Every structure is written in structure tokens, then in C-alpha cells.
Amino acid sequence: MTATERAPAKINLCLHVTGQRADGYHLLDSLVVFTEFGDSLTVQAGQGLSLGVQGPEAAGLGAGPDNLVWRAARLLGAEDMALVLHKELPLASGIGGGSSDAAACLRLVARMTGRPLPAPAEILGLGADVPVCLAPQPCRMQGVGEEVRPVAGLPEFWLVLANPRVEVPTPQVFRALARLDNPPMPAGLPHWPDAASLFGWLASQRNDLEAPAFALAPIIEQVRAALAAMPGCALARMSGSGATCFGLFATAAQAQKAAQALCAAHPDWWVVATPRLS
């Protein structure tokens, strides 16, 4: 028997850094969505536990014990399973690729074995983004990543994701933050009847990691500017700690045309147009 689980890209539509705990972990407030585009994980019966990695973005990703998929499988006590991860998302790119892969593994192994998911603290131990990726749906993520609440009623829209093929280590970005006590989102989120209202509200929000990431890798700001200049782009912003930026579009035609234009102008960038995962 073979089973497959999707591992969609995670997008921080806004990301506010609101404080820091005594143990050094940063406190966040983020509106998160997922995209139709992403990685996938397949499992079938095997001798012992194994992990293979393939796909256009597999280069540089090891399949050993440090791989988050391997760690997630071990956390659930997986055995006699041959796992194959198909990588479509760039590594270390601010869109939760590794975390989404680990969450997909937890869902897949739990489904195949009937075992319950690990305790929340154990899931958080895999990474701060793993809890939000466990149920890929629009949500508000707070705390250090452990507080996840679904957000209902988000309108449909399209995104263009662009990554300039640079890696910006997340710890360096956080260390370069000018301040750690930035304002959170409003306690109560508004109702967005359509994409235009959501885009307008998001324009009043922030990603507090943009400025330090731009300072460390100025090309990320160039990517954001290139997205913002595309016809139909309502908002361009960096996701997570970078280096992937996204542009928001109301229609598939606008997004696909923008992605084609970016690919032609910057063939060395990773670019994809994708709808939001409903």
C-alpha cells in the first residue's frame, strides 16, 4: 500500500515580532496561509525505516537523522516504512518547507499506523513552524509558534512566490532586529468580504523581519520591488525570515502573467504562481 501527503508552502501574510522570552525564544503574531503548491511525501511498506529525497529542489538536502521528516517519523515510532520526499520548495526559504514536510510526515504516519499525534510540546520541539503546519489552513499563530487558531472566512486569492536563490540564516535575521517589542495585530481580526478588503488591511500590517533580512541580503528587497511592480500586484512582502517574497493577486490570470514576466526577467530566480490552499 502506498499513501501520499501534501506539504504545502506556508506564507506569513504578516509577521509581527512582539517580544522575547527569558529563554531567548521570540514571541510572534502572524497571519498564516498555505498554498496549493508545495512538497509531497509518499510512504510504502519497507524493511526498516528509510527516507529518500528527490525532486527539483532536492540538491543539498540530506536524508539522514537530521532531516526533519526523519525526526518526525522517529517521534511517532515509525518502522518498516520507506518514505520518499519530493522537494518542490527551495531550502531555507522562509515558507516553511522543512516544517511542512515534518508535519506531513506526522499526519501520514499517524494515518498509516493509527497512532495518536505526539504531545504539542514534542511537536514544537521539531521546530517553531511545525505546529502551524500540522493543519494547513488559514490561521493566526502566536507565542513562539505553539498558539494556533484557525481564521475563517478568508477570501480566495492568488500568490506569486519568488526566491533569489540566497539563504539568510534565521538566527542572524532575528539578531539584527532593531527592536523586539513591536505592536501585535489587533486582538480581533476584521471580516474581509473580498480580496481587496484583505489586501487593504494587510497593507497596514508588517513583517518585522524584512528590514534586517534586507540589510543582510539586499537582493531580497529587489525581489519584493520586482513583485510590487507587476501589473495586478496588490501587495508584495517577504515571508518568514526570507528569502522568499510573495505578491498578492486577485485573479489567476494576473498571477500567472506576473510569474511568466518574472521568470523571463530573472531566469536565475525560483518563481511560481499558486492559489491559496482553501
Which one is catalytic: 29, 39, 129, 208?
129
Contact 139, 148 (CB under 8 A): yes
Our answer to whether residue 66 is catalytic in this structure is no
Contact 95, 111 (CB under 8 A): no
E strand intervals along the chain? 2-20, 26-45, 49-54, 81-86, 139-143, 147-150, 158-163, 235-238, 245-249, 270-275
H helices present in 87-218, as ranges? 97-113, 120-124, 130-134, 170-175, 195-202, 210-216
Our answer to whether residue 10 is catalytic in this structure is yes
Contact 144, 26 (CB under 8 A): yes
Which one is catalytic: 10, 87, 101, 208?
10
- Residue carrying the nine cell digits 495586478: 232
List CB contacts of 82: < 8 A, sequence separation 6 or more: 43, 44, 45, 46, 50, 52
Amino acid at 191: H
Amino acid at 47: Q
By CB neighbour count within 10 A (0-12 exposed, 13-18 middle, 19+ buried), where does 209 fall? buried
Using CA atoms, how far apart are residues 239 and 155, in angstroms rounded to an integer? 19
Residue 243 preceded by cis peptide, ω within 30: yes
Residue positions annotated with a catalytic role: 10, 129
